[in-house]
Amino acid sequence: MRDIHCHIMYGIDDGSKSLEQSIEILKNAYSNGITDIVLTPHYINKSEYNCNNKNKKKILDELIGELKKENIDINLYLGNEVMIDPDVSKLIANNKISTINNTKYVLVELPMHYENPNSEKMMFEIIRHGYIPILAHPERYDYVKEDISKLEPYINMGCILQGNYLSLFGRYGDEAKKILKILLKQRKIKILASDIHRPSTDYRIKKLKKKLKWFLRDKKYQEELLETNFLKIINDEIID
């Protein structure tokens, strides 16, 4: 499996707090059969979560060096989980925000508990500047739980939906689990990811594959969710 959303890059957001924690998470990932990971620390403009690309690259290089020492065969790529903001395209141009592996894809999140009336306009601006937004964990937003049709404008403008697969195990509550199942049944989710923050989190990859096999009964779609679309994204290819 490949993972496009996690918070393993230590010390710069609400995820891993140290190099040791990051390596522990990566060992856990490796033991669960994960071969490729995009590191996506939060970037929230005008907040403490604003590490620039130069400093993120230093942490990335350190992690890669430690993986070699530990004989952990995982490929790491740089990205960000960006809180929606009118300056996203400018921040990318100014080397503050990283798209996923320097492609046109950028992982974007919306406010969790309230609906920003300008979110659609800001998302469209990202697209207008040539980027493809990947909307992080749509099943977790309170207003989507109340009205799943809130996602339609984002889908129609070309956003890719990324679900947190741990939602299927109830990690974020029954409503998030229900919404993700609906979106998967409708084939609106294009990729699943862990959104791992801490060493204590269980990846549950074997259970996930069994659950998807039983739940979706569509081998091609399962492969797209866990493998194929990841490769398309990091290679800057179009997802159907």
Distance CA 69, CA 237 (A): 33
Q: Write the single-letter amino acid at 211.
A: K
DSSP string, 10-37: TTSSSS--SHHHHHHHHHHHHHTT--EE
Task: Sketch out the chain's domains with CATH numbers.
Answer: 2-234 (3.20.20.140)
Global confidence as pTM: 0.97
Residue 215 has pLDDT above 90, yes or no: no
Calculate mean pLDDT across residues 112-141: 97
> Smallest Cα–Cα separation from 32: which of 221, 226, 212, 206?
206
pLDDT > 70 in the chain, percent: 100
| pLDDT tens-digit readout, 16-47 | 999 999 999 999 999 999 999 999 999 999 99
Residue-level pLDDT at 217: 87
The CA–CA distances, whole Å, from 188 to 48, 72, 151, 163, 183 equal 33, 33, 10, 10, 5
| pLDDT tens-digit readout, 90-108 | 999 999 999 999 999 999 9
Residue that is written with structure tokens 């790491």 in the block: 76
| pLDDT tens-digit readout, 154-211 | 999 999 999 999 999 999 999 999 999 999 999 999 999 999 999 988 899 999 999 9
**Contact of 96 with 46, CB cutoff 8 Å:** no
Q: Computed over its alpha carbons, how large is the radius of gyration of the chain? A: 17
Residue-level pLDDT at 130: 97
Mean pLDDT of the chain, nearest integer = 97
pLDDT-derived band at 221, boundaries 50, 70, 90: very high
Residue-level pLDDT at 149: 98
Residue-level pLDDT at 240: 83
pLDDT-derived band at 111, boundaries 50, 70, 90: very high
